[in-house]
Amino acid sequence: MENKVALYNANGAKIGETYARRARQLVNQQRAMWVDDTQTSIRFAPGMENMDTTDAHADIIRPNQLCFAPWHDGYYYPAVISDANPHEVLVAYLDGDAGHVSHDHILSVDEALEGLRFECQYGWAGFYAGIITSKEPIVFHYDDGTIEQTELRKLRGIRR
């Protein structure tokens, strides 16, 4: 489970909490700043604390956007956002399945490639662990030393 981060308004009063990933997005958007080096709390910039924090996902939560979304087996798979409402996102996984996922669990492709440990489907033999060493084209180095260029649809990720 992802760690939570405390939210403080511009005057230093605690106003809630959010997930660490969303806090990083708010800091990157310059809507907030880290309170200290531990990155366990953020303080909103003046006038920003009343903005809905779901706006932090506006860049990835839109129809036809490619993302990574969790499946029931605990892995994140590549998917396309079909529809979204304030509570959940309908995604179409690239393998043909579909599902409803909470906004908090949707990862942009860049977030996934930087933050997940990956396995890649090797032929019909199954998924094997390794690392991505290039994003365009995707080059996958399997833990056994095998290297191959692959496609996004052949990847699945798990939180580190």
Domains of the chain with CATH codes: 4-56 (no CATH), 66-111 (2.30.30.140), 115-159 (2.30.30)
C-alpha–C-alpha distance, residues 157 and 107, integer Å: 11
Q: Is-above-0.75 flag for pTM?
A: no
Phi-psi label, residue 113: left if phi above 0, alpha if psi -120 to 50, beta otherwise? alpha
Q: Yes or no: say if 93 and 142 are a contact pair by the CB < 8 Å rule.
A: no
Summarize pLDDT for 46-55 with one digit per residue, the tens: 766 555 544 4
Sequence letter at residue 122: Y
Summarize pLDDT for 53-91 with one digit per residue, the tens: 444 455 557 888 899 999 999 999 999 999 888 778 899
